[in-house]
Structure 1
Amino acid sequence: MPGTTDKYQHAGWQKRSVMHRCDVFDTMRAQALNAHAKVKAKNKEAVFEEPFNAGQVSMARHYAGLYEGLQSGDLRGASYGERVSGGGGGVDAVVLRLAARQEFEALERKVGRGVAMPMRKVRPSKRGEGRVCKMISDLDAVRAVCLLGLSMSEVLRKYDWTVSSRNSAALRAALREALDRMQGYGVASARK
């Protein structure tokens, strides 16, 4: 999967048998847990908040799986469980590829044309330390994180934004909303 690291963690019941290759969402969760541990040491009543909920992470991984399958020509891992066969009962590979392409494009349409990091809402001193920042669209954010495996900080740097907790939080919120829209939540209020 694009953007994965070579770190593996146990993902099975009682840490048995199943291995899961860590991706950017695992890394962000680990970073959030580390930050929470520091806060918890000072404030015992602090509550951990997941950077992304399970549905958002699942959608991001499905979207990345579709992309990877389309790029490699292998669609077995992309929820198209029927096998392609040369006999009369199989599904044509072209039909599977077309269905995957249509689903991928539909997910990108659900993201919308909104802007995750609009420059007009952030003072110049807070966005790029004198540099010319580029606007980050919702689709740019989704592609950068889900397909390229970039963290919030890396996305901000890529578009010449200052890496700050405020900018990272705004980008994370926009990404959460985009992933929710991809799942079908809040589609009516999708940014145009």
Structure 2
Amino acid sequence: MTRHQRIAAFVGRIERGEVEGVTTEADRIAAVKDMGALPPTVGPDVQQTAARGPVRVFDMIGPHPVGENGVEYGPAGHRGRKTVQLADAFDVMAARAAARGAGSPFTAEQIGMGRFYRNLVERYESAGMRASSMDATTRGGGGPDGFMDALLADRQRIMIIRRRIGDGVALSMRKVRPSRRATRGTTRSVILDRRAVDAICLQEATLTDVLRAHGWAANGTNFKALTRAVGRTLERMAGPMRGQPDHSFTSDFARSIWDAANGSGDSDTGDAK
């Protein structure tokens, strides 16, 4: 379930009178506004809007002079204000885990790869929109050739990453006892690695959302199995570091995604869509 689907679902519950304490029209309006409520520490200039969805609030850190030559680092927000940032699925899952007293289900490296993949796909798919990204000023030369070179490099990186994801199964019904799969009468389907990664990275779904969307019970056993599978896929997506080919593969699949635009002669088949 994406951010906007969650918002629509909650608004639907409000309209159907399923939210406790919401009875009048004023209550309904207040409940919708509360969905976009922000703490006062971010300052009055950030508008309250329900469509924003979940956010994370943190301090920007910067240097502060101490004495004549000293420097110390501390919060550097304008007038002491905190910074608000739109939360993605990784932030939401980490916040839920923290509420249970647990750590994030994914490592910093896995999260970084997931966000890199998301940004890469969004940039590639929005390339036809004029001024669609601030990156447009840095993605190659000023002429059309520079733009096309950068676009093709993004396409090749996406192809390499998706080949690494492969057609594997993240959660198979054969690997889980029938009593632990889902509630009786629910139609279940296997969860492919690509489907799970795309749902989390591109559609803002959580692990729980992925399980329920495929008819699986969101219990501890299934959650842990899917977490391990997605984590392994994210690590596989990263592949070798810059300049370090993976000799277990051939052609451009063995190259680092960071080097994808620097060479020539590798195969360029497949579809990035």
Point out where structure 2 has 5 or more consecutive residues left out of the alignment.
4-51, 62-73, 78-82, 241-245, 249-273
- Determine the structure 2 residue equivalent to 1:133: 188
C-alpha contact 2:139 2:146 (8 A) present in aligned 1: no
Question: 1:5: Cα distance to partner?
Answer: 3.4
**TM-score normalized by the length of structure 2:** 0.56
Aligned counterparts of 1:134 and 1:181: Cα–Cα separation in 2: 23
Matches within 5 A, 1:37-116: 48-73=102-127, 74=132, 77=135, 81-86=138-143, 92-116=146-170
**TM-score normalized by the length of structure 1:** 0.78
Matches within 5 A, 1:110-189: 110-130=164-184, 131-184=186-239
Compared CA separation, residues 8 and 91, structure 1 to 2 (3 A): farther
| SS in structure 1 of the partner of residue 208 of structure 2 | helix
Question: 1:72: Cα distance to partner?
Answer: 1.3
Indicate the structure (1 or 2) with the bigger Cα radius of gyration.
2
Aligned counterparts of 2:163 and 2:120: Cα–Cα separation in 1: 15
Point out where structure 1 has 5 or more consecutive residues left out of the alignment.
37-47
| SS in structure 2 of the partner of residue 92 of structure 1 | helix
Question: 1:76: Cα distance to partner?
Answer: 5.2
Aligned counterparts of 1:81 and 1:60: Cα–Cα separation in 2: 22
| SS in structure 1 of the partner of residue 85 of structure 2 | strand
Aligned counterparts of 2:199 and 2:75: Cα–Cα separation in 1: 31
Question: 1:148: Cα distance to partner?
Answer: 0.5
RMSD of aligned residue pairs (Cα, Å): 2.7
- Shifted more, 171-180 versus 122-131: the winner is 122-131
| SS in structure 2 of the partner of residue 32 of structure 1 | helix
Aligned counterparts of 1:21 and 1:99: Cα–Cα separation in 2: 28
Aligned length: 172
Match of 2:76, as an amino acid?
Answer: R
Aligned counterparts of 2:179 and 2:135: Cα–Cα separation in 1: 45
- Determine the structure 1 residue equivalent to 2:99: 34
| SS in structure 1 of the partner of residue 100 of structure 2 | helix
- Determine the structure 1 residue equivalent to 2:86: 21
Question: 1:56: Cα distance to partner?
Answer: 0.7
C-alpha contact 1:9 1:22 (8 A) present in aligned 2: no
C-alpha contact 2:170 2:226 (8 A) present in aligned 1: yes
- Determine the structure 2 residue equivalent to 1:9: 57
Question: 1:125: Cα distance to partner?
Answer: 2.0
Aligned counterparts of 2:207 and 2:193: Cα–Cα separation in 1: 13
